[in-house]
């Protein structure tokens, strides 16, 4: 089932656990695995699920609120599920504005960044396709191809400095 978020949703808290809407200048993190998402040093398009863009959201962490321990627990848990596909973890780092500035050919915002914090992870947010411009697979593929460049700048968890 497609998500129900709109451009207006970006300007309102979407979770009772939220610390506020995601600001354009915020840095965001996306967890990626080698070789599942990264091949020959590059993040591949299948690292972004079309179903996630359309329905569930592409999970992110808001860097300023992220806890290293929570991300490490997620890495450990997810690596156990598919050890042959998840040999190494890295985090793509980009700004919210990077994602919101991606426009389609009609110059309309392609993606939404929604704060959807959970009780366990107040830093959680998600990228969704802007369904107001289309929900079809071609639109989702285009969105994915435009987003992939922002996932190429990757870091190890230990190399990032988290606020306490």
84-139 pLDDT per residue, tens: 999 999 999 999 999 999 988 888 899 999 999 999 999 999 999 998 887 788 88
**Range 66-91 average pLDDT:** 97
Give residues with Cβ within 8 angstroms of 42, minimum separation 6. Answer: 152
The closest alpha carbon to 21, from 31, 29, 11, 30, belongs to: 11
At 126, list the tokens.
């998600």
DSSP bridge pairs for 102: none
Report d(CA 77, CA 80) in Å as an integer: 5
Q: Determine the average pLDDT of the residues in 3-24.
A: 94
Ramachandran bin of 40, using left for φ above 0, alpha for ψ from -120 to 50, beta for the remaining angles: left
């Amino acid at each position: 089932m497609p998500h129900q978020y709109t451009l207006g949703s970006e300007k309102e808290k979407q979770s009772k656990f939220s610390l506020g809407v995601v600001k354009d200048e915020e840095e965001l993190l996306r967890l990626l695995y080698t070789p599942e998402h990264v091949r020959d040093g590059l993040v591949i398009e299948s690292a972004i699920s079309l179903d996630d863009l359309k329905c569930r959201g592409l999970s992110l962490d808001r860097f300023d609120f992220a806890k290293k321990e929570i991300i490490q627990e997620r890495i450990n848990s997810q690596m156990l599920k598919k050890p042959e596909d998840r040999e190494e973890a890295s985090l793509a780092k980009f700004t919210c504005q990077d994602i919101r500035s991606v426009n389609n050919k009609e110059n309309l915002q392609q993606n939404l960044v929604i704060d959807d914090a959970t009780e366990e992870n107040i830093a959680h947010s998600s990228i969704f396709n802007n369904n107001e411009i289309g929900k079809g697979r071609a639109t989702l593929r285009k969105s994915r191809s435009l987003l992939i460049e922002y996932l190429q700048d990757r870091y190890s968890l230990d190399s990032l400095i988290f606020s306490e």
